[in-house]
A and B are shown apart, each in its own frame.
Chain A
Amino acid sequence: MEHVDLRIAELASSAFAASGSETGSLPAGATELAVTADRQERHAAIVEAVLAGNAIAIPFAKFNDGRGFSLARLLRSEHGFRGEIRATGHVIPDQALHLLRSGFDTAEISDADKLPHWQQALSSYSGNYQMAARNPLALRRQAALKQSAESRAADLGKQLAATGDLAERIHIIAKAVPGRLSFSTSLGKEDQAILHAIHEAGVEADIFTLDTHKHFKETLATLKRSEEHYGLKIRVITPNEDDLRELMARDGEDGFRTSVAGRKACCMIRKVLPLNRTLRGSAGWITGLRREQSAERAAVEFASWDASLGLFKVNPLSDWTEEQLEAYVSDNNVPVNPLHAEGYVSIGCEPCTRAIAPGEDPRAGRWWWENMDGKECGLHIGGERQLDKVA
């Protein structure tokens, strides 16, 4: 069975992959989702997919049975699923863009001779009128935005690099971002510094934190103290209850300890899906990522266009050193999580975070029982979905 990677449409039109089979077949054990799936069944499929290979297949019995389009759209925008979605069964080349824009990544095709038609169909339109899973901007706004998204991100990065003043940087971000500005805070030291700067700059932003139900009590106390200190509201986003029930039923209370996949499923349900849901509709997302934090983060830019979320991801601390951060926090009397003083650097959920010794990698205290490669919960995924640009 051949496959066509629909996301090739996102590359320059001349840069089509020569063969649709390059992306290989579905990862073993991809979850098949019936077109009649209700909300609980969709949740269950996502949980299963996260454990099995992060891929979901949606079958089309007939090409004009359009339920699969709505299902993919819901997986993306309601459930925040960011793994692979593949169309299987009876789909035709003329549907390539509909599939892509509804949230599919790939389509399984029975006839390899049709590949040129698929590739042609993917490049048949240069603009689209309406929002969709892959262009979450209303009507035609994305058309103007998309062409310049990367260059606008680069411009924003240059502007941010030109000043070291954090409140000034926040100002620049608020001015450059064309719509709702979101700030997700973990209440760690970086994010507290940003919170301070947002307050100082007087910028309006949707400030929220992801309560995984597994936080340290010190973290929750820091939340409360920050709200009082700055007189602002930090929205608390919690995981979907159905998802948690599914996870518990499948993996038990300690599933995150028994395998990397189990840990990632836990992160997915407690953090990633709620984050993606909360960010939908935002035009900009401020994070506290710093290049110094880990090898994975060494290339973090000031600003980039996150096409799958349809927003500018902005990292105003990306160039700061630990010393700069320390100085800012103490100079400005910023409230910080008391755990930092006890050797906790990167603070996540209580069962998955420990203190580290001086000189250890700053992320060494996270999921310490796993090996060192790729210690990310999935909030800040990069490489594997780089094809995933806007439609």
Chain B
Amino acid sequence: MYRYDEFDRTFLIDRNREFRNQVERRLKGELTEDQFKPLRLMNGLYLQLHAYMLRVAIPYGALTARQLRQLAMIARRWDKGFGHWTTRQNIQFNWIKLVDVPDILEALAEVDMHAIQTSGNCIRNVTADPYAGAAADEVEDPRIWAEILRQWSTNHPEFTFLPRKFKFAITGALEDRAAIAFHDIGIRIVGGPNGTVGFKIFVGGGQGRTPYVAQEMKAFLKPEELLSYLEAMLRVYNLHGRRDNLYKARIKILVNAIGIDAYRAQVEEEWERTRQEDIDLPAEEVARIRSHFTPPDLEARPLDAAAFAKRRAEDAGFDRWVRRNVIGHKNPDYAIVSIAFKEPGRPPGDASAEEMERVADAADRFSRSELRITYTQNVILPHVARADLIALYDELKEAGLVAGNTDLITDIIACPGLDYCNLANARSIPIAEAITDRFADPERAEQVGDLRLNISGCINACGHHHAGHIGILGVDKKGTEHYQITLGGSPDNDASVGDILGPSFPAEGVPDAIDTIIDTYLAQRNDGETFLATYRRIGATPFKETLYGTR
């Protein structure tokens, strides 16, 4: 984990002092809401339906147990005892008072955390593979580069007033678990010539009103070239991105309007002109940051295979949890464990202060005090000895956190929707709850198999509906909440945008519609074929027929 030094701490103190002053000016009326808005947004503060919402950055989703306990303290003291894991690996608190925000930011700073650039038209929190440093298929730990990007983008003098928000994602693994294809800039760490490591750069991905899968921008970039190249990319966007229309201001619109080749030509020309003049990222700075991410020293912990098998045979819940939530680690004695925050009765990604503390305790006991947040709104313990799995399961079970449904139909991504958000057209949480209830039988959910179901309450697509195998989008149809269904999206290596199936459904019709889609899939699938593979093989027509009837 990256640990702040004097420089980082001083920066944060300066930043918080600046924002405290801005809040005071707002409370005294010296700043109008219009003037205050961009300033508060740059510090993660939204004004929602009922209260202010504070979105706290969890850089690249990595947390320590100590930090999580502090988040629990904040939830208890300044919110209603809850936090909410977001779809970009952050946490948000939905019941915040403006006057408290400077104190909350100070409490965050005590544990090296902040809310900087979690919103606003600037470079947002960088997301990354939640299995970083533990995954078996990793080329290099992406957290090193995500931290470099965090530092580079923090209060960047040139790129703080961009045409629109700007999101980075980075993965260092063969399998993309960071949805890099749906980001403004996606970065994949790849092997280069002679055992070197570098970057493949993608640009122009995004969801929202106009979804695009990112296109390849640069096949290989040397590590020292990364920042100068990104600056050239951002500069061309800053100068040429549209500012006259909010909906056409993202870089994906620029890239697709002029074409990737024209955009690349402009960037490369800019880069050639400025990179000689700019200092490349110095190796010693990379080394300093890299030293924070040296892999933990994991001692050999052989598993008592007989006892483990016995427990699996006797306890179906444990067996399912092992099947679904225990993931291979690069060290065979260890595992990556997913803690699901998805079960009947829980809005996806909601965590109580007590749950946060229980999970922090588990991380201390079983995972070197390390945790990760996923963009699918769950929590990861990255370094659990297989020999500890039974003890961990029992501890999590006491906390009610052993739903064995990772990547199943009930592992739903959902935005807060109209229950909280003033942008939403429709509620997301009740739809997620209804579908979770419908598939509450874990055997049935597992029989359906790997399935990503994502729900957004409006076209801004915070719930990633475009990238869901099944996507649900809340729309406003003559003043009533309706839901449009898309099929065939994917956030992974084979990224794609889902296709709209047909007319939308009223809220009460959604669970039946999903049931029909699942039944159609089960009737059509070949052995071992996932939902996505079946959809790609047979197309939308069979689903349309069962859902809307033949026409």
Report B-chain residues with C-beta under 8 Å of the C-beta of A78.
273-274, 277
Q: Is the CB of B159 within 8 A of A92?
A: no
Q: Is the CB of B151 within 8 A of A140?
A: yes
Does any Cβ of A come within 8 Å of B441's Cβ?
no
- Known interface pairs A131-B278, A280-B276. Does A64 touch B161 (Cβ–Cβ under 8 Å)? yes
Which of the residues B7, B22, B157, B278 comes within 8 Å of A94, measured between beta carbons? Answer: B22
Report B-chain residues with C-beta under 8 Å of the C-beta of A100.
157
Q: Is the CB of A94 within 8 A of B152?
A: no
Interface string of B6-43 (1 = CB under 8 A from A): 01001100110110011000000000000100110000
Report A-chain residues with C-beta under 8 Å of the C-beta of B15.
125
Q: Is the CB of B157 within 8 A of A124?
A: no
Q: Quick one: closest A residue to B286, CB to CB?
A: A139
Does any Cβ of A come within 8 Å of B298's Cβ?
no
Which of the residues B38, B148, B279 comes within 8 Å of A64, measured between beta carbons? Answer: B38
Does any Cβ of B come within 8 Å of A69's Cβ?
yes
Q: Is the CB of B7 within 8 A of A143?
A: yes
| Most chain A CB neighbours (cut-off 10 Å) among B227, B239, B282 | B239
Give the distance in Å from the alpha carbon of A124 to the alpha carbon of B22 in the complex: 12
- Known interface pairs A65-B243, A77-B278, A138-B279. Does A129 touch B159 (Cβ–Cβ under 8 Å)? no
Q: Is the CB of B285 within 8 A of A129?
A: no
B residues 263-290 touching A (CB-CB < 8 Å): 273-274, 276-282, 285
A residues 306-363 touching B (CB-CB < 8 Å): none
Does any Cβ of A come within 8 Å of B162's Cβ?
yes
Main secondary structure of the interface of B (DSSP, over half): helix
Q: Is the CB of B282 within 8 A of A139?
A: yes
- Known interface pairs A70-B239, A92-B35, A138-B285. Does A131 touch B279 (Cβ–Cβ under 8 Å)? yes
Give the distance in Å from the alpha carbon of A92 to the alpha carbon of B30 in the complex: 13
Does any Cβ of B come within 8 Å of A102's Cβ?
yes
Does any Cβ of B come within 8 Å of A136's Cβ?
yes
Does any Cβ of A come within 8 Å of B530's Cβ?
no
Does any Cβ of A come within 8 Å of B154's Cβ?
yes
Q: Quick one: closest A residue to B11, CB to CB?
A: A127
Report A-chain residues with C-beta under 8 Å of the C-beta of B273.
78
Q: Is the CB of B161 within 8 A of A65?
A: yes
Chain B interface residue count: which class? 35 or more
Give the distance in Å from the alpha carbon of A124 to the alpha carbon of B281 in the complex: 26
- Known interface pairs A69-B158, A140-B151. Does A129 touch B279 (Cβ–Cβ under 8 Å)? no
| A11 CB to nearest B CB, Å | 18
Q: Is the CB of B151 within 8 A of A137?
A: no
Report B-chain residues with C-beta under 8 Å of the C-beta of A127.
7, 10-11, 14
Does any Cβ of B come within 8 Å of A179's Cβ?
yes
Report B-chain residues with C-beta under 8 Å of the C-beta of A280.
276-278
Give the distance in Å from the alpha carbon of A355 to the alpha carbon of B162 in the complex: 55
| A101 CB to nearest B CB, Å | 4
Report A-chain residues with C-beta under 8 Å of the C-beta of B537.
none
Does any Cβ of A come within 8 Å of B121's Cβ?
yes
Give the distance in Å from the alpha carbon of A290 to the alpha carbon of B152 in the complex: 40
Does any Cβ of B come within 8 Å of A277's Cβ?
yes
Q: Quick one: closest A residue to B39, CB to CB?
A: A94
Report A-chain residues with C-beta under 8 Å of the C-beta of B239.
67, 70-71
| A36 CB to nearest B CB, Å | 8
Q: Is the CB of B152 within 8 A of A130?
A: yes
Does any Cβ of B come within 8 Å of A259's Cβ?
no
Report B-chain residues with C-beta under 8 Å of the C-beta of A141.
282, 285
Report A-chain residues with C-beta under 8 Å of the C-beta of B159.
66, 69
Does any Cβ of B come within 8 Å of A187's Cβ?
no
Report A-chain residues with C-beta under 8 Å of the C-beta of B274.
77-78
- Known interface pairs A94-B39, A281-B277. Does A129 touch B162 (Cβ–Cβ under 8 Å)? no
Q: Is the CB of A66 within 8 A of B7?
A: no
Give the distance in Å from the alpha carbon of A98 to the alpha carbon of B273 in the complex: 23
Which of the residues B10, B121, B158, B282 comes within 8 Å of A73, measured between beta carbons? Answer: B158
Give the distance in Å from the alpha carbon of A71 to the alpha carbon of B22 in the complex: 28
Does any Cβ of A come within 8 Å of B238's Cβ?
yes
B residues 33-61 touching A (CB-CB < 8 Å): 35, 38-39
Q: Is the CB of A98 within 8 A of B160?
A: yes
Q: Is the CB of B158 within 8 A of A139?
A: no
Does any Cβ of B come within 8 Å of A132's Cβ?
yes
Give the distance in Å from the alpha carbon of A101 to the alpha carbon of B154 in the complex: 14
Report A-chain residues with C-beta under 8 Å of the C-beta of B156.
130, 132
Report A-chain residues with C-beta under 8 Å of the C-beta of B17.
124
Give the distance in Å from the alpha carbon of A171 to the alpha carbon of B21 in the complex: 50
Report A-chain residues with C-beta under 8 Å of the C-beta of B14.
124-127
- Known interface pairs A78-B273, A139-B285. Does A128 touch B158 (Cβ–Cβ under 8 Å)? no
Does any Cβ of A come within 8 Å of B155's Cβ?
yes
Report B-chain residues with C-beta under 8 Å of the C-beta of A138.
227, 278-282, 285
| A377 CB to nearest B CB, Å | 21
Report B-chain residues with C-beta under 8 Å of the C-beta of A71.
239
Does any Cβ of A come within 8 Å of B66's Cβ?
no
A residues 270-327 touching B (CB-CB < 8 Å): 277, 280-281
Does any Cβ of B come within 8 Å of A97's Cβ?
yes
Does any Cβ of A come within 8 Å of B368's Cβ?
no
Report B-chain residues with C-beta under 8 Å of the C-beta of A94.
18, 22, 39
- Known interface pairs A94-B39, A137-B279, A138-B285. Does A64 touch B11 (Cβ–Cβ under 8 Å)? no
| Most chain B CB neighbours (cut-off 10 Å) among A97, A131, A143 | A131
| A130 CB to nearest B CB, Å | 5
| A161 CB to nearest B CB, Å | 29
Does any Cβ of A come within 8 Å of B235's Cβ?
yes
- Known interface pairs A78-B274, A126-B10. Does A139 touch B157 (Cβ–Cβ under 8 Å)? no
Q: Is the CB of B158 within 8 A of A102?
A: yes
A residues 28-66 touching B (CB-CB < 8 Å): 63-66
Q: Is the CB of A70 within 8 A of B157?
A: no
Q: Quick one: closest B residue to A101, CB to CB?
A: B157
A residues 93-136 touching B (CB-CB < 8 Å): 94-95, 97-102, 120-121, 124-133, 136
Q: Is the CB of B278 within 8 A of A281?
A: yes
Q: Is the CB of A67 within 8 A of B238?
A: yes
Give the distance in Å from the alpha carbon of A141 to the alpha carbon of B284 in the complex: 10
Report B-chain residues with C-beta under 8 Å of the C-beta of A125.
11, 14-15, 18, 155
- Known interface pairs A77-B274, A125-B11. Does A132 touch B158 (Cβ–Cβ under 8 Å)? yes
Q: Is the CB of B278 within 8 A of A124?
A: no
Give the distance in Å from the alpha carbon of A120 to the alpha carbon of B21 in the complex: 10
Q: Quick one: closest B residue to A61, CB to CB?
A: B243
| B120 CB to nearest A CB, Å | 9
Q: Is the CB of B235 within 8 A of A73?
A: yes
Report B-chain residues with C-beta under 8 Å of the C-beta of A277.
277
Report B-chain residues with C-beta under 8 Å of the C-beta of A95.
161
Interface string of B229-243 (1 = CB under 8 A from A): 000000100110001
- Known interface pairs A67-B239, A77-B277, A281-B276. Does A128 touch B155 (Cβ–Cβ under 8 Å)? yes
Report A-chain residues with C-beta under 8 Å of the C-beta of B285.
138-141
Report A-chain residues with C-beta under 8 Å of the C-beta of B18.
94, 121, 124-125
Which of the residues A64, A98, A136 comes within 8 Å of B157, measured between beta carbons? Answer: A98
- Known interface pairs A64-B38, A97-B157, A127-B11. Does A139 touch B277 (Cβ–Cβ under 8 Å)? no
Report A-chain residues with C-beta under 8 Å of the C-beta of B121.
64, 66
Give the distance in Å from the alpha carbon of A92 to the alpha carbon of B34 in the complex: 12
Report B-chain residues with C-beta under 8 Å of the C-beta of A131.
227, 278-279
Q: Is the CB of B7 within 8 A of A140?
A: yes
A-B contact pairs, 5 of them (CB 8 A): A65-B243, A66-B159, A69-B159, A139-B148, A143-B7
Known contacts A70-B239, A125-B15, A280-B276; can you find 15 more A-B pairs with CB under 8 A?
A70-B235, A71-B239, A78-B273, A98-B160, A99-B157, A102-B157, A120-B21, A127-B10, A127-B14, A132-B157, A138-B278, A139-B151, A139-B281, A140-B285, A281-B276
Shortest Cβ-Cβ A-B pairs, 6 listed: A66-B161, A280-B277, A101-B157, A98-B157, A129-B151, A69-B158
